[in-house]
Amino acid sequence: MIRLKNEKQIGGIRTSCRMLSAMYRELVPLVVPGVETLELEHWTRNWIKKAGGRPAFLGYGSRQNPFPAALCISINHEVIHGLPSKRRIAPGDLVSLDCGIEFEGYLSDQALTLEAGPVSEAAYKLNKVTQECLYQGIAAAKAGERLLQIARAVYDHAVSQGYGVVHQYCGHGVGFDLHEDPQVSNHPRGPNPRMMGGLVIAIEPMINLGTGDVDVLDDGWTVVTADRRLSAHWEHTVAIFRDHTEILTEPIVLSP
């Protein structure tokens, strides 16, 4: 069931989103070659705690295998849900960060892919196009339009550049819970409800250098490209109003 939000509720989600984006602005400069991903996880937990929030991802999932971290860190061929560890970021890595914060009962979700030092031309272009896919999708998110307009915008742009689009995972409603209806696909197929004012969704293209197919590693969380080629991931939380659409998470300016 799709749960629309009123202005007060969207205000609460907006506050959580701005907190998350503020965290990213401090975290991004720390993502450099040589740093352990576990160090980034510890930093993130401490930042959220000091800000008065709660890590939305930590403990998410089943009792048998709850997500063990506040921050997803997915590197190179890892698409999403990468687990922090003692692994060190290497020069030329593509590093995707995904995080959410619960603040006063409202949840936010945002992801971005960083380049750890100079990267290959293929990696740079993939990351650039994936970010473009995100904003193409956001431009299609309008009250009165159908949900799959977002998917068509994302999919068409990625495929026009020769990339694979992940279809097993997608964006989602967000705000009261981390994952709500509707599913926000990046493939133009499936349920196609009309978008209405009060809809809050996370739009998140996951675009691969090769095939759009993915596998899940034995840890039960880390999603990787089936052909083990590069992947990139960008996400914003977006609120749709009757007369406009607002990006609730804030753009993060990356160093050139």
pTM of the model: 0.97
Q: Return the percentage of the chain with pLDDT > 70, whole number.
A: 99
b (16+ CB within 10 A) / e for 1-40: eeeebeeebbebbbbbbbbbbebbeebbeebeeebebbeb
Give 181-240 pLDDT, tens digit per residue.
Answer: 999 999 999 999 999 999 999 999 999 999 999 999 999 999 999 999 999 999 999 999
The mean per-residue pLDDT over the stretch 107-128 comes to 98
The CATH classification number of 7-247 equals: 3.90.230.10
Our measurement of the distance from residue 100's CA atom to the centroid of its chain's CA atoms, rounded to an integer in Å, reads 9
- pLDDT confidence of 256, banded at 50, 70, 90? low
Beta-bridge partner residues of 75: 95
- Using the predicted structure, report yes or no on whether residue 50 has a pLDDT greater than 90: yes
Work out the number of other CB atoms within 10 angstroms of the CB of residue 220: 13
How far apart are the C-alpha atoms of 244 and 197, rounded to whole Å?
9
Domain ranges for the chain, please list them.
7-247
Residue 253 has pLDDT above 90, yes or no: no
Predicted local distance difference test score (pLDDT) of residue 255: 60
Q: What is the mean pLDDT of the chain?
A: 97
Provide the pLDDT for residue 254: 75
Helices 121-139/148-160 angle, 10° precision: 150
Q: Tens of pLDDT along 134-187? A: 999 999 999 999 999 999 999 999 999 999 999 999 999 999 999 999 999 999
